[in-house]
């Protein structure tokens, strides 16, 4: 399942404007296929994604190896780390 949010371009310009909060995020390729989900403090996770291609708590989807490079992102803000973990668990269970 995917987040019901609009994709954003995954590039350095989104980092300064990202809310400094925990979030569940979804990474996708240029065609909008989901590569995986992660959680964490959003600006930090965006920096990790841009530098290394994945965040610190990132989970690939089953078909991640059949999709393209990560070029898009969308997120759902969380109230705190346990809430972000709950959102991730819900996505992985779907």
Tell me the DSSP string of 44-60: HHHHHHHHHSS-TTEEE
- Please indicate, yes or no, whether the overall pTM of this predicted structure exceeds 0.85: yes
Per-residue pLDDT tens for 57-66? 888 886 766 6
Per-residue pLDDT tens for 32-82? 989 899 999 999 999 988 988 776 788 888 676 667 788 999 999 999 999
Mark 52-68 as b/e (b = at least 16 C-beta within 10 Å): eebbeebeebeeeeebe
* Domains (range + CATH), the chain: 8-93 (3.40.1440.10)
């Amino acid at each position: 399942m995917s987040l019901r949010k609009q994709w954003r371009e995954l590039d350095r310009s989104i980092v300064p404007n990202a809310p400094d909060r925990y979030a569940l995020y979804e990474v996708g390729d240029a065609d909008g296929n989901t590569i995986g989900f992660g959680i964490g403090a959003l600006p930090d996770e965006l920096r990790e994604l841009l530098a290394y291609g994945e965040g610190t708590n990132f989970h690939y989807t089953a078909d991640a190896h059949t999709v393209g490079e990560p070029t898009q992102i969308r997120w759902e803000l969380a109230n705190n780390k346990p809430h972000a973990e709950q959102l991730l668990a819900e996505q992985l269970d779907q």
